[in-house]
Chains A and B, each alone.
Chain A
Amino acid sequence: MRTSSLAGGGMLIGFNLFQACKPKAEPPVDLSQLNYNDFNAFIKIADNGAVTIFSPNPEIGQGVKTSMPMIIAEELDVAWKDVYVEQGKLDNENFQRQVAGGSQSIRFGWDALRQTGATAKQMLVSAAAARWGVDPSECTVSEGVITNAAGETLGYGDVVNEAALLEVPEDVKLKDPKDYKIMGKSAVNVDIDKITSGKPLFGLDYKTDGMVYAALVRPPAFGQKLVSYDDTEARNMPGVIDVVKIGEKVRALLAEDPGFGSKISSSDKVAVIAETTWQAFKAKEAIKAVWEEDTSVESTEGHDKKLTALLDGKEFNTMRSDGNIKKAFAEADEVLERTYESPFLPHNCLEPMNFYAEVTDEKVHLVGPIQTPAWKAGLVAKMLGRDEKDIVLEMTRMGGGFGRRLFGDFVIEAAEVADVIRKPVKVVFTREDDMGIGVYRPAIKYRIKAGIKDGKITAYHLKEAAINDGMYGLIPNFFPAGAIENYQVDSASYNSNITTGAWRAPYTNFLASAEQSFFDELAELMDVDKIQMRLDLLDKVKPEDDERIQYSPERMKEVIKVAVEKSGWGTKPSHVYQGFVNYYCHNSHVAQVADVEVVNGDPVVKKITCVVDCGIVVNPTGAVNQAEGGVIDGVGHSMYGDFTFDGGQGHAQNFDKFRLIRMREVPEVETHFIKNELSPTGLGEPTLPPAGGAIANAFKAATGNRLYQQPFTKNPELLKVPEKEVIG
């Protein structure tokens, strides 16, 4: 924690997330001598009382640019309407984890953000108390106005210059959640006016004087590399400034950091530099490039065989093993085994990948949409042989993230192009580049097997066959881990040359759907109530005896109970078919009920009731938006999302061939949050994974068919209601 006086009056507070506050205030310095970047995450209070709060984390649509400053403002005790929010820059010194990913911004920021606000408040109160010659404990604060026992008042702006000179207190008192005035009340998106009036906000909108545009010719198929190219025609096209080859520096970087290899192609690429975006796009098409097979080109058929062979094989990484599944299966009365499969998926952020870079001898200036600014600044420093201090990275608002902007291959490319041409340049992907040669959620298969003995589930075996990577270590400890005595999770992976990576709720985005469909089928086999079966399993979970279990059986039972109640489970008229799911991921507990009705002979998802326990809800309107968006995203991709490969090329390059959910297909979503005073947990992802399972289970109720393959529309014959059951 540090403070300093502003030259024109006022106070800056810098804070270091996830590190203890520095015990002593650093001496205030004149603003003219301040390196502004040292204070990119702070509260700024002017002597007229105006408050600016810098939001540290990247904004991808998850709402942290609104909710993180709300947490600071709450403890600072100012009126939300008086707060001006700005995006903080990348600052490794004052911040940690400036990342949009894993639904963790609020969970990890919770303590530090509250401390920051409360610390500033205490210093302001101390300054006022000193001026009055009273004890600070005699003062109260409301909306930035300090009042003493005699009823005299001072605004924050009146005492800010004195407050800035005080030592930073170590122990500050945080509010009781019961006293929250800002948190728990809906605050509209802080960028709403700019969004609705079309002001520049996004990476694609960013411009500087003299900036040029670059479009890159990339290998048309995974497994290919550039041999040669002819740029004669392109160079003669309007606006074209230069055509350059890049790739050498990326390969040198990959030699040092092979882990990044699954995120970026090592082939040479041809960058067409032009005065405008359209000129660059057009001239890119005029490049005559020759490609050759570098490694092998892959197909969906090949992936399918490989993944099945992995599931049938014996080479697994065992991620969790309780009891003895072999013995339990041998002794079981009945065994159920099912295999579930899902395809590759592009992220399809609506703002195509892009990044701005300017490289000079002194500095590297990077601007644009990136979920992992610190990681990318580090990679660029390494690639260009620069000191990390010479990399300045500014984050723009992002037109979607969904995991795609974690990888930053586009930052690396922009930096290499800028280094070659030495002009400020923005690399812009066409939609075809973005979808056709991207970084994908890989196809995956799960095989789940359960053993039943004397009417109880005695064994559970989950096998994963993945591409380029397998599930991360926390997932094997999610429900039903701890509920079944003999339990094992095994993972196997195949290495592909197709670039792959995290996609909103990695691994669980399909696993939840598969497991929750399996539970339903298991309950049918056992002839028990589907919800009671889940509650009975939860009764057996004892997190106090197993530190690997992060989920709470009690909180899970609560969301189940509320979902049953709010969805009218079991009380609907006969033409409404319901499907139930419950799931835990990203530290939050979720239960959902899907309502399917038959319209003109087809089952249609009409409504999803979604119940979430994510602890304290900072901003209700933003929270509902996240929950609904996650549910609809989950429904949409389970229904329609498909991406196949042939000869190393994806079948779709644009939205004419890749189907995203649209308005007419969207169900009603009714969201309920469990009210409690527990610290907040994830919300950007956890409502997505179970949604596919909820609709699969409701479709089963409506059609009699179990769905084992996503997208569900891939097997239209399974989405038909038997003739006799057609109503209306």
Chain B
Amino acid sequence: MPTYQIKVNGESKTVDVAEDTPVLWVLRDHLDLVGTKYGCGIGQCGACTVHVDGTAMRSCSLTLAQIDGKSITTIEGLSEDGMHPVQQAWKEVDVPQCGYCQAGQIMTASAFLENNPNPTEEEVKNAMHGNICRCASYTRIKKAVMTAADNMG
């Protein structure tokens, strides 16, 4: 199997995997970064969202070739101490029910706020529309994104 060098959470890693292995499974099974979740495998639910050079992307639908030379950030690397403003807002609002989708929600929200620090409620709804929360904690997700925007501003 081919060997790949990838940059994850600021560290350079070497992985030995088949070329068709989605980044999701490289993170989970090879690098033990299990915060990135498997939900659907077809880019429909958003549970596997990571940042690729700062852009939110579905890691289940990314190959290693597509991230060559790029920098990946996962939920584990979003902040050193779990206190990124979006993570803080999630705690303040007490968002999760089961919690499974929340890493993906946080990664989508943090990339969105990076580009749009003062969003309207409609913009937040549009930005978060691609992430499924099966427990339907949607009203709190929306509130937490707005709270994070306030705290960052």
Contact = CB atoms under 8 A, between A and B. Distances in A.
A724 interface: no
B132 A662 contact: yes
Contacts of B106: 196
A238 B136 contact: no
A84 interface: no
Interface string A608-639: 00000000000001100110111111001000
A625 B82 contact: no
A189 B96 contact: yes
Nearest to B42: A654
Given A197-B87, A625-B137, A666-B136, A655 B20 contact: no
Interface size band for A: 35 or more
A431 B100 CA distance: 15
Contacts of A630: 136
A430 interface: yes
Interface string B53-97: 000000000000000000000111010001000010011001011
B34 A629 contact: no
Contacts of B25: 276-278
Interface centre among A204, A630, A636, A669 (most CB of B within 10 A): A204
B126 interface: yes
B13 interface: no
Interface stretch (A259-267, A345-353, A558-566): A345-353
A196 B18 CA distance: 31
B37 A655 contact: no
Interface size band for B: 35 or more
Contacts, number: 183
A28 interface: no
A661 interface: yes
Contacts of A278: 18, 21-22, 25, 29
B44 A655 contact: yes
B119 interface: no
B142 interface: yes
A656 B42 contact: yes
B75 A663 contact: no
A468 B98 CA distance: 29
Contact of B45 (A207, A350, A629, A632): A350
20 contacts: A61-B97, A192-B96, A195-B90, A195-B99, A196-B90, A197-B76, A197-B82, A277-B29, A278-B25, A282-B18, A351-B37, A351-B100, A398-B98, A400-B98, A628-B137, A629-B136, A632-B139, A633-B135, A655-B39, A666-B139
B32 interface: yes
B140 interface: yes
Contact of A431 (B21, B41, B97): B41
A196 B82 contact: yes
A664 B125 contact: yes
Contact of A664 (B29, B78, B90, B126): B126
Contacts of A656: 42, 44
A631 B139 CA distance: 11
A196 B89 CA distance: 10
A189 B94 contact: yes
A195 B74 CA distance: 13
Contacts of A633: 135-136
Contacts of A669: 139
Interface string A470-504: 00000000000000000000000000000000000
A399 B97 CA distance: 9
Contacts of B41: 281, 430-431, 654
B139 A628 contact: yes
Contact of B141 (A193, A197, A399, A663): A663
Contacts of A213: 29
Contacts of B126: 663-664
A191 interface: yes
Given A196-B90, A349-B134, A399 B37 contact: yes
Contacts of A200: 34
A62 interface: yes
A188 B99 CA distance: 13
Contacts of B44: 654-656
B139 A661 contact: no
Interface string A391-432: 000000111111000000000000000000000000000110
Contact of B94 (A192, A632, A660): A192
Interface string B32-52: 111111111110110100000
B138 interface: yes
Contact of A655 (B40, B136, B138): B40
B128 interface: yes
Interface string A193-215: 10111111110110100000100
A60 interface: yes
Contact of A61 (B99, B125, B139): B99
Given A276-B21, A350-B132, 19 more contacts: A61-B99, A188-B91, A188-B94, A191-B96, A198-B33, A198-B36, A198-B74, A239-B18, A276-B29, A350-B37, A399-B99, A402-B134, A431-B39, A621-B94, A628-B136, A628-B139, A654-B44, A660-B132, A662-B130
A198 B20 contact: no
Contacts of A451: none
Interface centre among A213, A631, A664 (most CB of B within 10 A): A664
A186 interface: yes
A661 B132 CA distance: 8
A63 interface: yes
A256 interface: no
Contacts of A233: none
Interface string B114-147: 0000000000011011111111111111100000
B33 A663 contact: no
Nearest to B91: A192
Contacts of A663: 125-126, 128-129, 131, 138, 141-142
Interface in A266-314: 276-279, 281-282
A350 B91 CA distance: 21
B98 A199 contact: no
A248 interface: no
A400 B21 CA distance: 27
Given A663-B138, A664-B126, A399 B100 contact: yes
Contacts of B34: 198, 200, 204-205, 207
A529 interface: no
B149 interface: no
A666 B131 CA distance: 13
A629 B135 contact: yes
B6 interface: no
A193 B22 CA distance: 27
Contacts of B129: 662-664
A195 B35 CA distance: 8
Interface centre among B36, B45, B76 (most CB of A within 10 A): B45
A351 to B, nearest CB: 5
A196 B35 CA distance: 9
Nearest to A660: B132
A60 B98 contact: yes
Contacts of A202: 37, 100
A348 B139 contact: no
A38 interface: no
A668 interface: yes
A59 B96 CA distance: 12
B34 to A, nearest CB: 4
A60 B103 CA distance: 17
B21 to A, nearest CB: 5
Nearest to B134: A350
